[in-house]
Chain A
Amino acid sequence: MSTNELEAQKISKSYTIDDRQIKVLDDISLLVSKGEVVVIEGKSGSGKSTLLSLLSGLDRPDSGKVIVNDRDITHLSEDELAPYRNRTIGYVFQSFHLVPSLTALENIMFPAELNNDPEAMEKAEGLLNRVELIDRKNNFPHQLSGGEKQRVAICRALVNSPQIVFADEPTGNLDSANGEIILNLLLELRSELDTTLLLATHSREISNLADRIVLLADGRIESYTDKVPE
């Protein structure tokens, strides 16, 4: 088995809007090693979120392959992808995407319950404790602030101890103070759980923390930077 945990081979993706085809990603190839922190940088509309959704198996490329742990996930069916999404990856979205009908605790427990984890509740409560939201565990998403929602979303992404965490602009909807808290939390937890992290952002602050930076422009990789100079 190679040390590459995640590999994208010449992936492309287009969307059709009003009979117009827009190419969002064009011929992207990428290798991510275990434990790496990779930041995908680019302007708004450069294709960062699309790239993350393809790498995480939430969407399917029009062409090319996505290989995770030496397994091509590109053509897996929805049901074959389900366990991969549940156990191998965790996803933190810019818009949080908490299930509105579930409480904070239930949202975090949900992936663990799907995994039939008997300790789902203990783990979820432990994570809530860790992010200092245990007293809000019975609150519904609409009763939480933006920063609280994102902390819950991070807990949910990590509850099954995934190998890879994808975070799509995790601080994009937060003020700078909350953004900083979230970012630190994400990095701390990643470090504690020894997880690979792929982060899409246009924030230089986050980029400073990366092992590698991939710069996207108009759906293509403009540059790779292995280590950001101090």
Chain B
Amino acid sequence: MIRWRFIFRQINSSRKQALIFILCVSLSLLTLVSLGGFSNSVRQSMLKDARQLHAADIMIHTHYPASNTLLEIVNRYKSEGLAEAVLVHEFYSMARNTGREKSLLSELKVVEKGYPFYGTVVLKSGLDFSKILQAGRIIVEQNVLDRLQADIGDRLQIGSTELTIVDVVVSEPDRPVSFFSFGPRIFIAADDLEKIDLIKKGSRIHYNYLLKIHNQDMVDTLADELSDVAIEVQERVNTFRTAESGVKRFFENFLFFLNLIGIFTLLLAGIGIQAALYTLLRESNYTIAIMKSLGAGSAYIFLHFTVMIMLLGTVGTVLGLFFSYLLQLYFPVLFTGILPAHVTLTIAWDVVFEGLVLGTVVVGLFSYLPMRRLRNVKPALIFRKEVEATRNDLPHYASITLTILFFIGLAVWQLEDVKTGIYFVLGLLGLVAFTAIVTQVLLMLMKKRSPRLLTLRQAFRGLFRPKNATRSIIITLSASLAVIFSIYIIEQNLQSTFIQSYPPELPNAYFLDIQPSQKQEFSNILGEEPQYYPIIRARLTSINDRRINRKEERQRRRDNLAREFNLTYRDFLLDDERITEGNNLFGDLDQNSLGNGELPVSVLDFVAEIGDIKIGDLLVFNVQGIPLQARVVSMRTRTASRVRPFFYFVFPEKTLKDAPQTIFSAVKIDRQRLTMMQNRLAEQLPNVSVIDIGKTIEVLARIIQKLSSIIQFFTLFSIIAGLLIIISSVFATKLARIREAVYFKILGAGQGFVLQVFTYENLIVALICALQAGIISHVGSWAVCRWIFDVPYKPLPVATGIMILSTILLVITVGLSASLSILRQKPIGYLRDEGQE
């Protein structure tokens, strides 16, 4: 029978530790559940507003004008009154303010009357979009006005004509305005498409045919009919329900990363749960010993403490769910600018249920080892204040294995990626294990040291005070600080490399969509002969007769094989390329090894890894509807910076030089000349787009900073776990600390002495945490900068110093605040209490 009164009395007598335990449980759920709930809300909103998100019922997307068969069916739908249809062209081009001699790469959206079928394009004037956007007029994003120093009523040169700015777009249904883009938005009426004359052979144009179906029940049937005649690979037909949205994809990728942080917080909070529970149960040791001396059996005690833990765990879980909901309310502010507006926050009961299950499992897993210690509390403890050490037996190791498996399972479930899940958890455990080993070694060394300074010596001893959770504190704080430091250091390194000092030898301007016939004129404008990279746009359809599964490919988090590739031709290696397999690019090619109609191709190792492509494999590409067979004859790798142009598939010049192509060039050019170039190109070669890498990187940097601040926000919760363990540890050792303080005072020490001892103690803990976190984060960040981003590493000594000082300040403040009542303790009060006992 369960004695509830005993359980409540026990909770009441250890209420501070119980509160810390509850907070650790709620903390463990906070990130994962709040993100889960928020993601659910966004998904629901997106699903609810899916028509708005795509502005239509059916969307046909292609990079070429739609095939005749497809157009015939669309026209039939229109004539039969089944549907309305509009064509939207999207592409990049230069916009030029002729009056100010300023040019800007912009994202043009040329729309027919009727766009959008769902949702609205909100204009600054508040007027109706369809009435405002007429031939000869354009509607622009505020950024266009700012950067071109233009006003409403000014005329901008776009392609071969000049158009008048009539309004500013505030939001459009199918793209958040502040989402990353190479250039700000300009809306153009379809009537002006011919006049601007920017659609050239091989240009990168998105053709979007949007259909509004009058009978909603027919959406899927009509979409199926369109899919059946669409050219495979080239023309993609989707309904608002099946379409992938870029926003959704970005959001899910970002949540994927935040979920990693959530799992990290869960692990550290788990350590917190365990530390708090060890302390809570240690406080109960005396009671347990008395109970046993009065005849209570292990089962009775285990049952009651299990019920107690379950009660506290439930409170913690419910509190965690409540905090998660509160936190979600703040998310729209936190995620401002990277998520679609008007996300309605809903309570997802499946997420709440998942949270409850997760809370129960976490409490169960992390409580098992502390609960096992109950067995070792013997009644004789009331005579001798010692507990037999636990021997690490099979159930002990089984529990640790189960915990690791749980985390791997959780990571795989959350990330929906087995390989990443396992690597992530193993990496995480590696980090925790590393900090645990270093901490253990440092503490062992300190235990043997006896500093001369009395206060410091007492502080050293204090670290090993029974019940002090020194090791848990250092491990959790070091690991969480290491992650926060790393994110900051990497972000700063990326900023300093690309923003403050963009590598001088690298190209800073990319020129796209140069027509082969414009090469000479382009060189003349540039005043030099740049390196030209021909681009033939194609899709990969099969590898060794194995068709590319486009749906599966699009699920990949990194690059995927379903997208359109830029093929190129040349007979030489670039400066930053090296052959890894094959004798050289194509030089030793044995024509006999190629089948009829097959072309040799050199493949970059990165894409080869994605598609498991090997030398000798047969790749089939689709170039504007024409199949192209290619046999892999060499593999290449890149040896230098990633901001240089690179190509996955390289063909010999003679094989592709006559294919439909555009030309791309990347040059290093000073800013003043670049502005001049932009203006001249806008005037003479208006179809050529210029990407100013400097400006683009500035935009990217702002986004990186925003994302990094969100990540740091979530990582903060793992630091709280560490701080909770500090508070728990101070509470747990309160009696011992009071005794020390009283003895010091009886022997003539002042309050200052006691304060100094406690300060040193916290300082030592803080220093170990900060230094460990500093070293781990620098090594980790260096590796990331060196091998992933390929940028020079700057150790940021000032920032590192500030981070170390902040850690010290934080730990000392929290540690001393929890000890205030101890410092104020009068010796006589303690002695009187002690005497009575």
Contact = CB atoms under 8 A, between A and B. Distances in A.
Contacts of B546: none
Interface size classification for chain B: 20 to 34
Interface string A99-139: 11110001000110111100000000000000000000000
Given A59-B380, A101-B287, A91 B293 contact: yes
B466 to A, nearest CB: 15
Contact of A53 (B291, B383, B837): B383
Nearest to B13: A101
Contact of B291 (A99, A100, A116): A99
Contacts of B836: 146
Contacts of B382: 58, 93, 95, 97
Contacts of B378: 59, 78
B298 interface: yes
A49 interface: yes
Nearest to B6: A102
B290 A78 contact: no
A84 B9 contact: no
Given A95-B837, A97-B290, A115 B295 contact: yes
Nearest to A89: B295
B233 to A, nearest CB: 72
Nearest to B297: A82
Interface in B365-409: 375, 378-380, 382-384
A97 B12 CA distance: 19
B837 A106 contact: no
B444 interface: no
Nearest to A116: B1
A58 B5 CA distance: 26
A175 to B, nearest CB: 12
A93 B382 CA distance: 9
B380 A58 contact: yes
Nearest to A56: B293
Most interface-central of A58, A79, A84, A93 (chain B CB within 10 A): A58
B837 A15 contact: no
Contact of B383 (A59, A99, A156): A59
Given A85-B379, A106-B9, A100 B287 contact: yes
A79 B5 CA distance: 23
Interface string A43-69: 000000110010000110000000000
A195 interface: no
Nearest to A57: B379
A21 to B, nearest CB: 14
B383 A78 contact: no
Contacts of A146: 836
Contacts of B294: 85-86, 91, 110-111, 114, 156
Interface in B282-308: 286-287, 290-300
A113 B293 contact: no
A83 interface: yes
A83 B290 CA distance: 14
A102 B9 contact: yes
A110 B293 contact: no
B538 to A, nearest CB: 76
B5 A106 contact: yes
A114 to B, nearest CB: 5
B9 A101 contact: yes
A87 interface: yes
A50 B296 CA distance: 21
B3 interface: yes
Contacts of B10: 101
Contacts of B380: 53, 58-59
A91 B290 CA distance: 10
Nearest to B382: A97
A113 B304 CA distance: 14
Contacts of B295: 82-87, 111, 114-115
Contacts of B299: 79
Given A53-B380, A99-B290, A79 B297 contact: yes
B292 A85 contact: yes
Contacts of A95: 382, 837
Contacts of B9: 101-102, 106
Most interface-central of B3, B12, B286, B299 (chain A CB within 10 A): B3
Interface in A1-60: 15, 49-50, 53, 58-59
A114 B300 contact: yes
A49 B12 contact: no
Contacts of B13: 100-101
A49 B298 CA distance: 24
Contacts of A156: 294
A87 B294 CA distance: 9
Nearest to A88: B295
A121 B298 CA distance: 24
Most interface-central of B12, B292, B294, B297 (chain A CB within 10 A): B294
B291 A110 contact: yes
A85 B6 CA distance: 20
Contacts of A110: 6, 291, 294
Contacts of B290: 97-99
Most interface-central of A84, A100, A115, A146 (chain B CB within 10 A): A100
Contacts of A98: 290
Given A59-B380, A59-B383, A110-B291, A101 B12 contact: yes
Interface string B800-837: 00000000000000000000000000000000000011
A78 B6 contact: no
Nearest to A156: B294
A110 B299 CA distance: 16
A101 B9 CA distance: 5
B293 A97 contact: yes
Nearest to A90: B294
Most interface-central of B13, B292, B297 (chain A CB within 10 A): B297
A100 B289 CA distance: 12
B12 A78 contact: no
A142 B439 CA distance: 40
A113 B3 contact: yes
Contacts of A87: 295
Interface in B537-592: none
A139 B375 CA distance: 30
A82 B5 contact: no
Most interface-central of A49, A50, A59 (chain B CB within 10 A): A59
Nearest to A141: B837
Contacts of A99: 287, 290-291
Interface string B700-742: 0000000000000000000000000000000000000000000
A86 B837 CA distance: 24
Contacts of A91: 293-294
A93 B13 CA distance: 22
B379 A59 contact: yes
A110 to B, nearest CB: 6
A58 B379 contact: yes
Contacts of A114: 294-296, 300
Contacts of B296: 82, 86, 114
Contacts of A83: 295, 297
Most interface-central of A91, A99, A106 (chain B CB within 10 A): A99
Nearest to A91: B293
Interface of B: 1, 3, 5-6, 9-10, 12-13, 286-287, 290-300, 375, 378-380, 382-384, 836-837
Interface of A: 15, 49-50, 53, 58-59, 78-79, 82-87, 91, 93, 95, 97-102, 106, 110-111, 113-116, 146, 156
Given A85-B379, A101-B287, A106-B6, 17 more contacts: A59-B380, A78-B292, A79-B297, A82-B298, A86-B295, A93-B382, A97-B286, A99-B290, A99-B291, A100-B287, A101-B10, A101-B13, A106-B9, A110-B291, A114-B295, A115-B295, A146-B836
12 contacts: A15-B384, A49-B383, A78-B292, A82-B295, A82-B298, A85-B295, A95-B382, A95-B837, A98-B290, A110-B6, A114-B296, A115-B295
- List the 8 shortest-distance A-B pairs measured between CB atoms, nearest first: A86-B295, A101-B13, A82-B297, A85-B295, A101-B9, A59-B380, A58-B379, A111-B294
